[in-house]
Amino acid sequence: MRLNGQTWEFTSKPVILSAAAVVGPEEGQGPLSTDFDYVYDNIDINEKTWEKAERRLLEQASQLAVVKAELTKDQIQFYVGGDLMNQIISSTFAARTLGVPYLGVFGACSTSMESLALAALLVDTGAAERVLAGTASHNCTAEKQFRYPTEYGAQKPPTAQYTVTGAGCSVVGKNGKGPVIARATIGRVMDLGIKDPLNMGAAMAPAAADTIAAHFRDTGLTPGYYDLVITGDLASVGLPIAKELLQKAGVHMNGTEFTDCGLLIYDLQNQTYVKAGGSGCGCSAVVTYGHLLKKLIHKELKKVLVVATGALLSPLSYQQGESIPCIAHAVALEMED
């Protein structure tokens, strides 16, 4: 059911039946390492190219999620996924391996929640019984495509973020014991004219604030309803900006834990190379499907709003001097008694 504005309320209460998170070595050195299903000890992910490495991460996460749900791929009706690569090739090639009917989506780093919201919608409307949702990123593929190849050794400012090497997938179904997908707010494209691809947090913060404000406006809920509101990858630069924008919009996060996946996945004090924190499609995906789902299942959290953020630029648009349009999609996860 669509509420006023941008929000869906899922009346049949679709459930996350299972999820899997597979990451690279840097993520395995962070504080959430024990929450991931598999940690690679090499950035190559045992492949010959960065792009093949990213695809392997996504294939492994999707296969693990299906196995953990005690299903076969023939019991999955659709796979909804996307990534940061041109023509979302990581997801497309992973879908080729899976052999499941495929809906490719692109929301940049917001793809984790975009795909989950669409998977829940398919299940809620009866269009499918079980849907796989997932995404992935790799530090070296993103650097190569959007900035400078890693081998170039380019210096980065403190505002820069570190693309997460990892993949996260979930299986959404009608009935089960996992967390319920209660509602989703679909974001608008926001662009305040920022052109610096090494300051993504500032570029994405307005989109995050706009979607969070829309969620509370549409639902009539207050921030205190959730145990945790967590953005995708605003990191240390963007999160304070989002807080300030929400205050100006009359949404006061006081008393509600409000943090960011990009701040949780790395140890910013010791892993100083990550600069402002994590980013990439895999950032909110592995934190949600690894860390947050475990917190929900163990009843350490009961209600969480995940707001994945994405910068919708391309190498071409950046080279032509365009500013960076951004978006954020929010999904509410609840663990019922």
Q: What domains sit in the chain, N to C, each tagged with a CATH number? A: 7-173 (3.40.47.40), 180-334 (3.40.47.40)
The values of phi and psi at residue 329, to 5°, are -120, 135
- How far is C-alpha 100 from the geometric centre of its chain's CA atoms? 22
Beta-ladder partners of 220: none
Can you tell me the distance from the alpha carbon of 111 to that of 70, in angstroms, rounded to the nearest whole number?
A: 25
**pLDDT in tens for each of the 337 residues of the chain?**
777 799 999 999 999 999 999 999 999 999 999 999 999 999 999 999 999 999 999 999 999 999 999 999 999 999 999 999 999 999 999 999 999 999 999 999 999 999 999 999 999 999 999 999 999 999 999 988 988 777 778 888 999 999 999 999 999 999 888 999 999 999 999 999 999 989 999 999 999 999 999 999 999 999 999 999 999 999 999 999 999 999 999 999 877 899 999 999 999 999 999 999 999 999 999 999 999 999 999 999 999 999 999 999 998 898 899 999 999 999 999 998 7
pTM: 0.97
Which residue type does 168 have? G
For residues 31 and 138, is the Cβ–Cβ distance under 8 A? no
Q: Alpha helix locations (H) across the chain?
A: 25-28, 50-68, 89-98, 111-124, 139-146, 200-219, 235-248, 261-264, 281-286, 293-297, 315-319
DSSP-assigned states of every residue in 122-182: HHHTTS-SEEEEEEEE-HHHHHHHHS--GGG-----TT--EE--EEEEEEEESS-SS-EEE
